[in-house]
Amino acid sequence: MKKKRKADYRSTLGYETPIYLVFSKKSVQPSVVAAFDQAINNLKQSQEYQNIISWYLYPVILLQTVDSGWFHSLDILGTVFFSISGVLIANSLNGTLLSALLYAVLASVGGGLFRDIIFGQRPVDALETPIYLIIVFSTVIIGFTLSKLFERVDTSAKHSHHYKRVIKHFKLLLTTCDALGLAAFTVTGVLISLMAKVEPLWLWGPFFAFLTGAAGTIIRDILSKSRKISDIEGEIYSEVAIVWGLILSVALLSNTFNIRPDLIRFFVWFTVVGAFLTRMFIYYFRVPNVYFK
């Protein structure tokens, strides 16, 4: 006769798998089995158990959550429109094609590069696959070509009502996709922080969400010699990544003892939608930033 003790283990695939620990009555005293059960219960209530979940199980589940078509689409969409912003700055400064490429690369992949360098990740994500740089270069070439075509539009056409409507809708589309990219990069920043096992997550998660989403555009504005670095001196933008990065980090930490893949997916969706709607609310209602004077 053998005595079985059952321990619940919730796997990363979304279902529970029982694990049976088998003890022999001939060689194991009941007191040892009781002590073993008590040790398991103590572990599940300890900080060590929380660290195990945070360090090993959460990264796997988060990778399953964000490794999907919709999230990659947001990532690519953000890269495209961050690249367009670089083209627009180069065009406004009457810069060269090289300057447009530089501004676009910094805005779209610069934050991720800085983050991966800090973590010592090898290879760097942006360099591991050429898709992001291909998107940036293609966007810049198309944007540069379109700007040359717009130069052929006469002055009267530029001041027409239809032309102004096109510009207005383009700015709205740019802001919308920019907000989507920021929302996706916010989740990515927290995800990479969790995978890198930085502690505490509630502090470093928001920081790397900000670094991933806004650091590249800050460096871009510095190199372009802008009078005002819009991401930290203008309207509320970087603060969106920080706030929602904090919300996602706290949500992950607060559910360590009730980890479920569907709950993690909800947190990711909630963060993406919340960050996007927050950015659009600020844009539509022109919510002012907080200044010293």
For residue 144, give both structure tokens: 């540069």
What pLDDT does 204 receive? 93
Amino acid at 122: R
Tens of pLDDT along the chain (293 residues) come to 344 433 333 334 444 567 788 888 889 898 999 998 899 888 888 877 777 776 777 677 766 666 667 677 777 877 887 888 788 778 777 788 888 888 888 888 888 888 888 887 777 766 777 888 898 899 889 988 887 777 666 555 555 555 456 556 667 777 787 788 888 889 888 888 887 778 888 999 999 999 988 888 778 777 776 555 555 566 788 899 999 999 999 998 887 666 677 777 788 889 999 999 999 999 888 888 877 77
Q: Any idea of the CA torsion for 175, 178, 179, 184, to the nearest 10 degrees?
A: 170
Q: How is residue 236 written in tokens?
A: 């509320």
Contact 215, 111 (CB under 8 A): yes
Burial class (CB in 10 A: 0-12, 13-18, 19+), 201: buried
Which of 220, 240, 280 minimizes the C-alpha distance to 82?
Answer: 220
Determine contact, residues 170/115, Cβ cutoff 8 Å. no
Q: Which two tokens mark 114?
A: 């800085």
| First-residue to last-residue Cα distance in the chain | 80
The confidence score (pLDDT) of residue 250 equals 92
Q: What is the pTM (predicted TM-score) of this model?
A: 0.73
Report whether 243 contacts 206 (CB < 8 A). yes
Rg, Å, the chain Cα set: 25
Looking at residue 65, what is its pLDDT? 64
- The pair of structure tokens assigned to 81 is 């429109």
Element housing 113 (H / E)? helix 97-119
DSSP state of 258: G
CA distances (Å), origin 151, targets 58, 71, 146, 162, 170 = 52, 36, 9, 17, 17
